[in-house]
């Protein structure tokens, strides 16, 4: 008899097995199983592949809605999932006890719950729970020596969240698709209880930008000289709104020297940064490396599975002393010379106390390095994210930095100009956080009250008020966090989905809302406004938090959510044709913007367009009327530049394209129809 340990990922299962003893590895249906025997215990450690079970619509008919009859079932169309379930079920039959060792958060709790309930024969309640924030040998052993009971509240909250997301996502998406079908067209559309408000944020910002009317204003700047040192000062009113007022100031001050009439000299303390939570890390990585939030999370999870950092899906900005500051910092000194000097600075301090933020997480502390050396070389991006986490952790223990600010007011003919200087007098924590922190210093000459300054030049520059910045992926993530919608684990995926649905597009200024994105939000605001309301989504998040804490019943929360959804669906059903027409205009514009080659020679209705596969990224020709039954497709050369000729093949009427394989070389004219007779004769 043995204890069956359920893990979330193969890498985690291997780490746990190595920490518990000397494992032997075998395979069952191609799934790795790790066995550990020692004098104290006998473990068999199995692994999931993420979610093995998910929610399905019992009707199994995608055209039917509303649907509320759901059940948990193996993730469809994935043979590897079925093999994993079969392997775990076989092991469970002879197990004497069970340990839930999946990630300790809502998603991890749901994954373990589903496996223990459905694959192991309803063993969740009697299983033990291993709680750990890092995959270091020491912490794994400690967690197995102090096994706890499963967190039923966490499991219920996670399962309730899945049900609400599924119910809202499936029903609203089907309602949108059916609305579009009502005018005889098809497109894969989606909307959900978090997707809607998130897209609405971007739409609101885009409206602000497009409605912004630039107003002119004038900035007045003077150049002064003091003992050969030249510096600039700005008129005390940052924006002069009338040109006549600006010109009057220029006329009064040109050629007139200035007098220093006041000097203030102050020191400012700059506290060390707080440790990373996942949102902070995602925003910093985007700012520094332009990594998308989803990519940053993926890298952080890889580092966690290699036992290099603590569990990354945390909202905490706190580092409890129980993690062992001295031990971690000493371990970092052994990883390489780049850290040893920084570590020596910290270990020389009498006491190590990190600067902490206000945010907490009941399951995990802030993200921190474990002090364990990498067993294999990290890739370039992996090392960047790891180095950022290490230096942020060290900087949190650093002394506050100190800066000096000198502000001067200068009188020129009764008009006041201001100049400021900033210098860093003590680097403190900034030494530990280089090169990820920069302090812009600006020096002024030595000035005293009453000093006479030579006025070298004075100019007025016309500027215009600017619209607000578009959201980028990092600031959108911050907005979702601020509005308390979504979770630390799902926010990046929501943003990614908005890109996939072509509701958002990347542009130089950030995230731009497409015509389709506008149409979806406009139709929802007109006919089902609660769907894009943060109030409804935030209320559900609060209710789910109450489920986790045991102060609310999951079924009550779900029933309330269904009642609110039914009201919205009734409005959508009533106005299907109006919604379909509204979205159709945006989709038609979207198709027109695609690389259209010409009319489809098969259906005579759609346009043949150059399309890129989302899965393989290969380009091919497809008909815009594909969803309505036209199967016209053709491969394209994967290399070279495609030129649209606007001409059709005389043999088969399919579009002709030009292909240039290298700059300055001949353009080859090719018929897109691979079955064209001209290709057999070699005439194209």
Q: Which of these is catalytic: 217, 311, 339, 386?
A: 311
How far apart (Å, rounded) are the C-alpha atoms in residues 442 and 404? Answer: 10
Closest CA relative to residue 171, chosen from 462, 646, 570, 626: 570
Strands across the sheet containing 641-648: 641-648, 655-660, 667-671
How far is residue 346's CA from residue 350's CA, in Å, rounded to a whole number? 9
Q: Tokens in use for 241?
A: 């709104």
Instruction: Report the distance separating Cα 674 and Cα 655, nearest Å.
Output: 11
94 and 598 Cβ atoms separated by less than 8 Å? no
**What whole-number distance in Å separates Cα of residue 180 and Cα of residue 585?**
11
* Backbone torsion region of residue 542, taken as left when φ is above 0, otherwise alpha when ψ lies between -120 and 50, otherwise beta: alpha
* Closest to 368 in 3D by CA, of 342, 332, 344: 332
**Element spanning 31, H or E:** strand 31-37
Whether residue 66 has a cis bond before it, omega within 30° of 0:
yes
Q: Is 311 known to be catalytic?
A: yes
What 8-state DSSP symbol labels residue 367?
B
Q: What gap in Å lies between CA 667 and CA 505, rounded to an integer?
A: 31
**Strand ranges in 306-413 using DSSP code E only, listed in sequence order:** 401-412
- Smallest CA-to-CA distance from 30 within 75, 97, 74, 78 is with 78
Q: How crowded is residue 593: how many other Cβ atoms within 10 Å of its Cβ?
A: 11
Give the Cα-Cα-Cα angle 603, 606, 611 (nearest 5 degrees). 115
Which residues are tagged catalytic? 311
């Amino acid at each position: 008899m043995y204890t069956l340990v359920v893990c979330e990922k193969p890498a985690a299962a291997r780490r746990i097995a190595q920490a518990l003893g000397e494992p032997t590895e075998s395979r069952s249906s191609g799934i790795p199983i790790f066995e550990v025997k020692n004098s104290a215990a006998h473990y068999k450690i199995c692994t999931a592949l993420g979610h093995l079970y998910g929610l399905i619509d019992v009707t199994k008919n995608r055209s039917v809605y509303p649907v509320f009859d759901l059940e948990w079932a193996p993730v469809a169309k994935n043979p590897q999932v079925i093999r994993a379930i079969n392997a775990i079920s076989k092991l469970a039959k002879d197990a004497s006890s069970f340990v839930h060792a999946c990630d300790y958060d809502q998603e991890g709790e749901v994954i373990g719950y589903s496996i223990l309930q459905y694959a192991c024969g309803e063993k969740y309640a009697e299983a033990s729970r291993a709680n750990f924030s890092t995959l270091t040998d020491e912490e794994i052993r400690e967690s197995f020596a102090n096994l706890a009971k499963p967190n039923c509240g966490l499991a219920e909250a996670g399962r309730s969240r899945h049900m609400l997301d599924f119910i809202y996502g499936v029903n609203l998406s089907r309602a949108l698709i059916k609305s579009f079908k009502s005018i005889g067209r098809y497109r894969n559309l989606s909307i959900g209880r978090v997707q809607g408000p998130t897209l609405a944020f971007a739409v609101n910002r885009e409206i602000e930008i497009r409605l912004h009317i630039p107003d002119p204003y004038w900035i007045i700047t003077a150049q002064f000289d003091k003992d050969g040192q030249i510096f600039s000062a700005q008129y005390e009113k940052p924006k002069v709104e009338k040109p006549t007022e600006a010109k009057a100031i220029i006329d009064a001050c040109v050629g007139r020297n200035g007098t220093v009439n006041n000097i203030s000299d102050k020191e400012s303390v700059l506290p060390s940064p707080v440790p990373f939570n996942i949102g902070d890390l995602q925003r910093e990585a985007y700012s520094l490396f332009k990594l998308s939030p989803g990519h940053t999370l993926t890298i952080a999870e890889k580092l966690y599975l290699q036992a290099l950092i603590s569990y990354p899906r945390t909202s905490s900005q706190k580092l409890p002393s129980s993690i062992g500051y001295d031990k971690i910092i000493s371990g970092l000194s052994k990883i390489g010379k780049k850290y040893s000097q920084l570590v020596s600075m910290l270990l020389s301090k009498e006491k190590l106390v990190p600067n902490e933020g206000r945010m907490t997480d009941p399951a995990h502390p802030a993200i921190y390095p474990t002090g364990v050396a990498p067993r294999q070389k990290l890739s370039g991006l992996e090392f960047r994210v790891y180095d950022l986490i290490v230096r942020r952790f060290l900087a949190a223990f650093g002394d506050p930095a100190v800066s000096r600010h000198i502000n001067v007011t200068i009188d020129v003919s009764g008009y006041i100009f201001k100049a400021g200087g900033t210098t860093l007098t003590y680097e403190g924590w900034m030494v530990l956080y280089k090169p990820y922190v920069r302090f812009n210093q600006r020096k002024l000459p030595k000035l005293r009250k009453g000093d006479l300054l030579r006025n070298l030049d004075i100019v007025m520059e016309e500027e215009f008020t600017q619209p607000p910045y578009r959201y980028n992926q990092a600031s959108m993530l911050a907005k979702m966090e601020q509005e308390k919608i979504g979770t630390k684990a799902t926010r990046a995926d929501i943003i990614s989905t908005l890109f996939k649905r072509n509701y958002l597009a990347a542009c130089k200024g950030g995230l731009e809302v497409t015509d389709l994105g506008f149409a979806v939000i406009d139709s929802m605001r007109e006919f089902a406004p609660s769907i894009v309301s943060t109030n409804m989504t935030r209320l559900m998040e609060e209710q789910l938090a109450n489920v986790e804490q045991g102060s609310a019943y999951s079924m009550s929360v779900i029933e309330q959510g269904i009642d609110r959804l039914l009201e919205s669906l009734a409005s959508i059903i009533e106005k299907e044709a109006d919604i379909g027409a509204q979205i159709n205009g945006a989709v038609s514009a979207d198709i027109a913007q695609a690389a259209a080659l010409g009319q489809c020679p098969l259906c005579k209705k759609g346009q043949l367009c150059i399309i890129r596969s989302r899965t393989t990224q290969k380009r091919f020709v497809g008909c815009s009327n594909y969803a309505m039954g036209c199967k016209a497709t053709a491969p394209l050369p994967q290399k070279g530049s495609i030129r649209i000729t606007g001409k059709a093949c005389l043999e088969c009427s399919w579009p002709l394209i030009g292909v240039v394989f290298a700059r300055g070389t001949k353009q080859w004219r090719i018929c897109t129809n691979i079955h064209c007779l001209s290709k057999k004769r070699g005439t194209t």
